[in-house]
Chains A and B, each alone.
Chain A
Amino acid sequence: MKLLYFAWLKTKTGIAEEEVAPPPEVATVADLLAWLQGRGPGHAEALADLSALRVAVNQEYALPGDPVRPGDEVALFPPVTGG
């Protein structure tokens, strides 16, 4: 699974993208976020407030209950501020 981090999620984790292999019990977006919180201090800080996060799975906005699978591209970012 490929993870992408944007804006301050990239700054706080110190990572723009990484390849991860979560355990099989990580089946949803919510599971993945909980698993990532335990991945290190940078991740824990970046993912401390899940209400400040938006998630896209394969470039589509996703909800906490949406499934994630090996091979997916999952992006984590704050609410968007373009325009």
Chain B
Amino acid sequence: MIRVQREDFDAGKEIAALGAGNRAVGGVAAFIGLVRDMAGGEAIGAMTLEHYPGMTERMLERIEAEAAERWPLEATLIVHRHGRLEPGEQIVLVATASAHRRASFEACEFLVDWLKTKAPFWKLEEKASGAEWVEARASDDDAAARWRLPGTKSESDAAE
């Protein structure tokens, strides 16, 4: 399941609900992304996450479907927030449930890596020097590329 929302989420409740009642689940892995108070050595007052309503949901559903094809998963959850967030606030929750830990861990990492490079979100950081759009990092592309299957190309390598 995927959700894009302004409001905060209760990670404990969300994780507990994932695959609840499904006795085939043997392990749940979860990642929670938080707003840091520093970026590039400068203090961050807050950040605003902008997104592309419609395409965001479509891309998140697609990467979730991709994970379900690659790993034997019982359930997955992606909750991604948008709007203005302050340091310490939760940005994203990714959780995966499977019979065994390896599939849970790997699929969780895959989902985080792919959503960072494919889901249309943009961060605007508020610093003392002014508001600044965060630039995409090559290390995030490298992390996502690790999961690329042989003979496929990245969808996000567009307009280059």
Contact = CB atoms under 8 A, between A and B. Distances in A.
Contacts of B80: 82-83
Interface in B144-158: 155-156, 158
Q: How large is the interface on A (under 10, 10 to 19, 20 to 34, 35 or more residues)?
A: 20 to 34
Q: How large is the interface on B (under 10, 10 to 19, 20 to 34, 35 or more residues)?
A: 20 to 34
B92 A83 contact: yes
Interface string A49-78: 011011110010111100000000001011
B136 interface: yes
B158 A55 contact: yes
A46 interface: no
Contacts of B51: 82
B127 interface: no
A6 B52 contact: yes
A82 B42 CA distance: 19
A20 interface: no
B156 A82 contact: no
Contacts of B159: 29, 33, 50, 53-55, 62-64
Given A54-B159, A61-B158, A80-B121, 5 more contacts: A53-B159, A56-B52, A61-B156, A80-B117, A83-B121
Interface of B: 33, 49-52, 54-55, 58, 80, 91-92, 112, 115-124, 133-137, 140, 155-156, 158-160
